[in-house]
């Protein structure tokens, strides 16, 4: 699926200028886990102003720091990849799930760094 490009509104440094998620599938997985872990609706608008971006960054930092995102991502990966497919790839299911979760965590950590330095963003 397609890419998602985020452009910082008032970047504080080069990290806040832009961020790219290379796969809509990754973004869907990240969103699903964040939605499951929070008691609020996580909506992604094409524009987010600085105060909302800062609040969103704090939420992301919390679910990364407490380990709940990783646990949720492994569970979500288990829903996405069936065990038979994993074995046809000569990999154990747990290895596939952990690898997918690690990829989503890395993406979310990069997005967090961007959010903290972007001063808000526009999404393309």
Is residue 104 within 8 Å of residue 31, measured between CB atoms?
no
Measured distance CA(24)–CA(18) in Å, rounded: 17
Domain ranges, ordered by start, for the chain: 4-123
Confidence (pLDDT) at 1: 54
Indicate the average pLDDT of the chain: 87
Greatest mean pLDDT among 32-46, 77-91, 100-114 lies in 100-114
34 Cβ neighbours under 8 A, 6+ residues apart: 42, 59, 60, 63, 69
Residue 82 banded pLDDT, cuts 50, 70, 90:
confident
| Token pair 């526009």 in the structure block, residue | 122
Report pLDDT for 71.
94
Write the CB contacts of 55 (distance below 8 Å, at least 6 apart in sequence).
Answer: none
Is residue 72 pLDDT above 70, yes or no? yes
The encoded tokens of residue 92 equal 């154990």
Q: What is the pLDDT of residues 14-26, one digit of tens each?
A: 999 999 998 888 8
Average pLDDT over residues 40-47: 68
């Amino acid at each position: 699926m397609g890419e998602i490009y985020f452009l910082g509104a008032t970047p504080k440094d080069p990290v806040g200028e832009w961020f790219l998620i290379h796969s809509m599938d990754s973004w869907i997985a990240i969103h699903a886990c964040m939605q499951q872990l929070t008691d609020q609706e996580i909506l992604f608008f094409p524009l987010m102003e600085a105060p909302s971006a800062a609040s969103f960054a704090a939420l992301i930092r919390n679910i990364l720091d407490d380990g709940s995102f990783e646990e949720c991502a492994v569970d979500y990966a288990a829903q996405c990849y069936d065990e038979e497919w994993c074995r046809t790839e000569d990999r154990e299911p747990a290895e596939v799930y952990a690898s997918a979760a690690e990829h989503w965590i890395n993406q979310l950590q990069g997005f967090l760094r961007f959010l903290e330095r972007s001063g808000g963003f526009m999404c393309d």
